[in-house]
Amino acid sequence: MTKLSLFAILCSASFAADAGWTQLFNGKDFTGWKVNENTATFTIQDGAIVAHGPRSHCFYIGDFANHRFKNFELMVDVMTLPKSNGGVYIDTEYQDSGWPAKGFEVQVNNTFPGDPRRTGSLYEVQDVHAQLVKDNEWFTEDIIAKDNTITVKVNGREVVHWTQPPDWNGTKDFPGRRIGPGTIALQGHDPGSTVFYKNIRIRLLD
């Protein structure tokens, strides 16, 4: 096999691996994203969106699927500094301030004190209490929303598989947490937390 043939095969395999996936973050600026309440909480460093500062959320408001996703798979690479808290929201919508009222939060928390819900939790819905990954290391949250079921994987390990009951009325603190079309958002939790998000990609399942 010639080097040229091998190169063509590798390129074809790479294309197949990426088929159906769309990158929502260009790695350079906030095109397609909107930060609420405390805009300085979010910066971009070395191709990652970094959350560090007072509570704030960074919502995807871009053109892809009109930022309204129903059945999809979302993958986000995440890294935390010690004692940090963050999250990835799905099925949500932009709001000017406060914790997002609509949709679900997939928790990012490896060693944050005072909150037992660890990385991978579907917050207040199906919680994970074991520490699955380490601070200062990149890991991947893989979130699949299909019909009435949400599945969460951390580094390929399934940790949540939850189907919304017909009589579901949300959670105690967040009654708006229901499956339905919406966008995604990244959380900046508090001034003591630093969370990095990159390689934010989505594929539609319909």
Quote the CA–CA distance of 107 and 45 in Å, as a whole number.
22
DSSP state at residue 118: -
Phi, psi of 158 (to 5 degrees): -70, 125
List the domain boundaries for the chain: 22-204
Q: Considering the domain 22-204 in this protein, what is its CATH number?
A: 2.60.120.560
User: Residue 17: its pLDDT value, please?
Assistant: 46
pLDDT by residue (tens digit) across 117-139? 999 999 999 999 999 999 999 99
* Predicted TM-score of the model (pTM): 0.90
The answer, yes or no, to whether residue 18 has pLDDT greater than 80, is no
Which pLDDT band holds residue 206 (cuts at 50, 70, 90)? confident
